[in-house]
Amino acid sequence: MEYVPLKLFIDGEWIGADARETIDVINPSTEQVLGALPVATAADVERAAVAAARAFPAWRDTSAYERAKILHRTGDILRSRAEDIARLMTLEQGKPLEQARQEVIHLPDMLIWHAEEARRIYGRVIPSRDLSTRQISAREPIGPVAAFTTWNYPAVIPMKKIAAILASGCTCVAKCAEETPATTMELVRAFVDAGLPTGTIHLLYGEPARTSAQLIALPQIRGISFTGSTGVGRELAELAGRHLKRTVMELGGHAPVIVMDDIVDVPKLARTSVMRKFRNSAQGCVNPSRFFVHSKVYDQFLEAFVAATQALKVDDGFTPGVQMGPLAHGRRIGAMQRCVDDAVQRGATLVCGGARMDRPGYFWSPTVLTDVPLDALVMNEEPFGPVAPINRFDDVEAVIAEANRLPVGLAAYAFTNSTAWANRFGRRLEAGMVAINSFAFGAANASSTPEVPFGGIKDSGFGSECGSEGIEGYLNVKFISEHDEA
């Protein structure tokens, strides 16, 4: 597929490289250069923020019904362009084309949900102690919001943010991932073609630390929304706190999976676990990450898990029947190697995989480790790649404590046929999202759906995306006291 010219979008204008610095965008399946991405200058960043602030009053005062019409039209446009966007995503991110299609097809649903939810941004009337006074608690958009997104889901992650920001009545300056620029360009293009007013949305790319620090410090920006690693999120939260900016932080996790001994079809669960673990080359913050299997079913689970892992078809994302593509960039190869080497040096058993595949591209062989010591790197830091540690347990209380030991808490999974244990896992697993007997949050076969909140606790962040909770991060509460007479 032919790649597209890469551009910034600022104040209604598509801007090419011109005299700007550029970054090479690499095809992770071939390691070949796809295109040159223009880097936003400091003047570009300031121009975007100033334009977003200038456009904010008119967009704020546009009724929720009119804003909803634009979001609906954007969804219609994205439906008509879904195949082209999916192919661009596979080209620059590497995931199998069918997985890219599923991600893009999800976008109109995201837009429709937020469009309709914006019509239900309600305030309330508070009974007054003085009958000549009316007391109102109102919700109002906070102003221009800077949205920072990552490369692993380059369509859904930006859309979660942009849809909520725009639906709430805020304007948006999006700084998206340099690895996957064409995908997010096409999202912005759809908004523009749907009639979004000039200045309401902007798209920047550039050196992440410099660009984010400048955006957060600019007085025009009133809120921050970030998806990415806990380390970077902590730095951005510190910057936002210094400038007293509102924040929504969706950060990393290290999702535990607890498999009890009362599971009926253990091989089926193992095969399902493989498909969910290695989806998107295991580059997902809610992918199952640490497996704890009861000793009574451990051998049966491990045998089926390893067989399914070794049977995975790993290839270029455009190859028919492919189940796992490359890692998104070369840095992930080094991270996988460190995880595996550290675990083996500490006494873990390497059952399969454990090395870069001998071919062009950033391909890593799906890896299974067993008997992994709890002080190993892979048991303490999210691998964010196709390495699966699987340990056995006998003491349920001990395994709950181990699942909760880490400072992160985004997603957690438990499988049991006991209602009592299901209730206990739901209450006691320390995560913002807990799934019992499923790897889905929301509809079947979906990692998340727009009607349910998505977010973590502890070092996995704060605030929610999607659900009715997802718009709250972009709204101020205003108390209005009206008296009958002046």
Active site residues: 250, 285
Q: What is the DSSP letter of 387?
A: E
In angstroms, the CA 217 to CA 219 distance is: 6
**What is the side-by-side order of every strand in the sheet holding 290-294?**
349-352, 367-370, 387-393, 290-294, 256-259, 411-415, 433-436
Structure-block tokens of residue 381: 């830091």
Instruction: Give the angle subtended at the CA of 133 by the CAs of 131 and 139, to the nearest 5°.
Output: 130
Residue-wise DSSP of 19-87: TS-EEEEE-TTT--EEEEEEPPPHHHHHHHHHHHHHHHHHHHTS-HHHHHHHHHHHHHHHHHTHHHHHH
Please give the C-alpha separations between residue 474 and each of 146, 282, 355, in angstroms, as whole numbers: 11, 31, 44
Strands (DSSP E) contained in 142-284 are 145-148, 172-175, 201-204, 223-227, 246-250, 256-259
As a residue count, the chain comes to 486
Contact 211, 187 (CB under 8 A): no
CB burial string 31-55: b at 16+ within 10 A, e below: eeebbbbbbbbeebbebbbbbbbeb
**Alpha carbon 228 to its chain's center:** 7
Contact 56, 357 (CB under 8 A): no
In angstroms, the CA 439 to CA 413 distance is: 7
In angstroms, the CA 332 to CA 229 distance is: 13
In angstroms, the CA 22 to CA 13 distance is: 18
